[in-house]
Structure 1
Amino acid sequence: MTNEYLEYYPNKLAKDFKFDKHLKNEKRFQEYCRGKEIPYYKDEGNWGTKLDIGNIPIKEAVKRAFILQEFGVWKEWKNTGKNIFNFSKNLTELLKETNVLDLDISIIKLPYKNFYIDLTSAKIPFEENGSEFIEGAFITDENYDADNGDSFERAIGVDFAGKDYIEKYWKINKNLCWDGDRGFHSMTLFLEKNGDLRTIQDAINFDKKGFVGEATFDERDDNTKIELYLIHKQFVDRTINFIINCLLYLTTKDVDIEKEYPSDLPSYLKTKLNKANTKRKKEIVETEIIKGGFTKIKYVGRKIKSNYISNTPDREISTHWRKGHWRNQKIGENLLESKLIWIIPTIVNKEKGEPKKGHIYEIK
């Protein structure tokens, strides 16, 4: 069963805020969201231009700044193929129970420069015990350039998304520097940082420390910055393990992916596609489908089943997860190649009920 195309966050976002229309005049849209540049002068050391959005409520100003950031992420996603991955419920459950933090971060290989992962099956709240759930995440392969134009740092940008996010959390995000800081829902994981970052845990810690940037004109007090840091830290701790496991699974050579058009693909296009009996005719119809705004959804892990083993007769053990992990296995002649292998987590004694959270046995 496939989902309707407009159910996915990037498409809902574009429809609600008319992003395709704003692509025709991005400068005008940017001025609407962040204001026009006006001369600024405070003293001889502080002068130049600043943005003036006019006399609008602070909540509306925060919302517009957020929409502009989402527009930028969405635009990159659109321009790089509009790729959407939908992870199955079984795969999601297993990835949640897999260790990841001590891995070498360089083994992550993204399938595309920019793509979106639907996370609705994961049921991850934006805040602990909250009712607003993350719908998905935009993943971006980012390069940071040196002054001479050379690319010297590579990072993975992760922007979690949800339709109720800004309405619920605008009071938090109003304290961010809107042109520099990201919302607390986003993170940047550097894969290369002058050799200082070795593991995924190193990259996560670096993101936490650098979350609240130093703006040129920064009037925030230290308590506000500390509060923002803690909010972001708690969010990262709750989400990062799972999203990294999603990326690692897409890195593996044995990844289980099925590509299908969404259920709301117009019937006349379905008919044309079914009647296309040559490769060339199919390509023509697929081009028409893309022009109509549709792409295939990449369904991940449909063939994967939850693993479980029964209790041995000589001892009684309560239901629990046996944690999974990743192994970067050396293979090939002289062991010069490597293959990422997922040791899948297992539920022990599932017939006795659901495993209790916190009661976990790990594989080393």
Structure 2
Amino acid sequence: MKEKELEYFYPYKTDKKYNYRALEKKFQNDKNYNFENDPYYEFLNSVSKGNEKLAGYISDDLSTWSLWNRLGRNIFSFSNDLLLMLEKTDVDDISFDMFSLPYDDFYLSLKSLGLYANSDNENLIDGVYVHLERSEMEAIPKSERDPKMRDDYYEPEYKLLIYFHFVGNFENFVKEKPDEVIFDEEIKLSWSYGLAFPKYEDFITVGDAIDQEIEKFESQVYQNFPQDKNKREKIINEYKDFVDKTIRVLINSLLYLSQPKEKINSEQEFPQNLPFNFNRKLNFAKTDKQKKKIEKKINETGFSKILYFGNNNNRNVNEYDESHRKSLHWRRGHWRKQLFGKDLQENKLIWIRPVLINKTDEDILPKGHVYEVKTN
């Protein structure tokens, strides 16, 4: 392991840098709270030093981290081989009803892929926070409705709504090129996007949703730079490239997580290098009672177990090897639906894994595995 896990996984790294947990605790315990002494405002003002875009970036980072922290602190780490295969699988025709996420909020590590947020190859993507906006997908209970209002007012607006907030070493970019950082009305940054499937819209595929997202971004860029065509084109092209390089591995990772547990190769462990010698104490715990007591203290300290996928013997914290990708050729994978069951009323999602072809011997093709995701 070349990098400590508490520094490798972004939620722990950014918490250590800005001490988010202490800030959250201070806010919760401040009985004399008012707008003038808002701890968040004081914090953002001190770290941004008057840079409005930097304050927006850190504010967004903090709010995303806080949501992740409140909703379970779940972290998923895929083996590099599995991520590479997922990246090489097409997703445009994937429909919204194929997703069945294990949690409403979690962090997915992508660092080992060596993806960069922009073309200058300076801002490495660490990973992505994934948030399922369930409140926009469920009807408000009748007991909470105003009887004077029509029922359709309380119906869900979306069939599916997922936000993706990518994170990494972006702070220097914000400092050096603040005019290229785009905010929309929800204070999202240039390296965030989502999948929105409105209830009364016809489009149902990932490709449809991404087209809508890009149109929305283009509109926002035009509002920011109505007179500067060259800058608009540069920022929009960077954004399209960013979406294109991340969408496949992201969507396929979510589909992989949507599988039944028995189809997934995974292990769950606390990260290494925990404070207060927690790892050592766990190793020397003699009884289950002692172990559970230590695990409770670890959770109370702000840490949780990480789910590792794809390779039980090799944690996904190694350096990315660019030469590996250059020496191989992939035959792309894809997903397809297959009807089954009585009167073919059920369907299952079949993953045809990409096939790796060695350029020095293209006649030898390793056989791919097939994973099934059953949906009703």
SS in 2 for 1:209: helix
After superposition, residues 319-358 of structure 1 pair within 5 angstroms as 320-349=329-358, 351-352=360-361
Q: Percent identity?
A: 29
- In the alignment, what sits opposite 1:68? 59
Q: Number of matched residues?
A: 318
Q: CA deviation at 1:131?
A: 3.0
SS in 1 for 2:190: coil
Higher deviation after alignment, 201-210 or 249-258: 249-258
Please tell me whether the aligned partners of residues 87 and 121 of structure 1 are also in contact (alpha carbons under 8 angstroms): no
After superposition, residues 35-50 of structure 1 pair within 5 angstroms as none
> Could you report, residue by residue, the CA deviation over 1:197-244 in whole angstroms, capped at 9, with x for unpaired residues?
2111001101111125669xx674254655543332221122212211
Please tell me whether the aligned partners of residues 10 and 74 of structure 1 are also in contact (alpha carbons under 8 angstroms): yes
- In the alignment, what sits opposite 1:155? 161
TM normalised by structure 1 equals: 0.76
- In the alignment, what sits opposite 1:206? 212
Report the Cα distance in structure 1 between the residues aligned to 2:39 and 2:348, rounded to whole angstroms: 46
- In the alignment, what sits opposite 1:90? 81
Q: CA deviation at 1:186?
A: 0.3
Which 4+ residue blocks in structure 1 deviate beyond 6 angstroms? none
Please tell me whether the aligned partners of residues 110 and 125 of structure 2 are also in contact (alpha carbons under 8 angstroms): yes
- In the alignment, what sits opposite 2:27? 25
- In the alignment, what sits opposite 2:265? 256
Please tell me whether the aligned partners of residues 100 and 326 of structure 1 are also in contact (alpha carbons under 8 angstroms): yes
SS in 2 for 1:258: strand
- In the alignment, what sits opposite 2:146? none
Distance 1:75 1:330, change over 3 A: same
Please tell me whether the aligned partners of residues 338 and 350 of structure 2 are also in contact (alpha carbons under 8 angstroms): yes
- In the alignment, what sits opposite 1:315? none
- Alignment RMSD, CA only? 3.4
Please tell me whether the aligned partners of residues 319 and 352 of structure 1 are also in contact (alpha carbons under 8 angstroms): no
2:287 alignment partner AA: N
Report the Cα distance in structure 2 between the residues aligned to 1:304 and 1:344, rounded to whole angstroms: 21
Distance 1:281 1:143, change over 3 A: same
Please tell me whether the aligned partners of residues 82 and 295 of structure 1 are also in contact (alpha carbons under 8 angstroms): yes
TM normalised by structure 2 equals: 0.74
> Could you report, residue by residue, the CA deviation over 1:258-302 in whole angstroms, capped at 9, with x for unpaired residues?
111212135455434653534x55433321221122211111111
- In the alignment, what sits opposite 2:6? 5
After superposition, residues 164-203 of structure 1 pair within 5 angstroms as 165-170=170-175, 171-172=177-178, 176-177=182-183, 180-203=186-209
Report the Cα distance in structure 1 between the residues aligned to 2:257 and 2:313, rounded to whole angstroms: 14
Report the Cα distance in structure 2 between the residues aligned to 1:56 and 1:296, rounded to whole angstroms: 36
2:192 alignment partner AA: S
1:73 alignment partner AA: T
Name the structure where helix makes up a greater proportion of residues.
Answer: 2
- In the alignment, what sits opposite 1:48? none
SS in 1 for 2:72: coil
Report the Cα distance in structure 1 between the residues aligned to 2:156 and 2:172, rounded to whole angstroms: 37
- In the alignment, what sits opposite 2:226? 221
Report the Cα distance in structure 2 between the residues aligned to 1:62 and 1:172, rounded to whole angstroms: 6
Q: CA deviation at 1:148?
A: 4.3
Report the Cα distance in structure 2 between the residues aligned to 1:335 and 1:303, rounded to whole angstroms: 36
Report the Cα distance in structure 2 between the residues aligned to 1:242 and 1:302, rounded to whole angstroms: 17
Report the Cα distance in structure 2 between the residues aligned to 1:249 and 1:322, rounded to whole angstroms: 19
Distance 1:237 1:319, change over 3 A: closer
- In the alignment, what sits opposite 1:242? 249
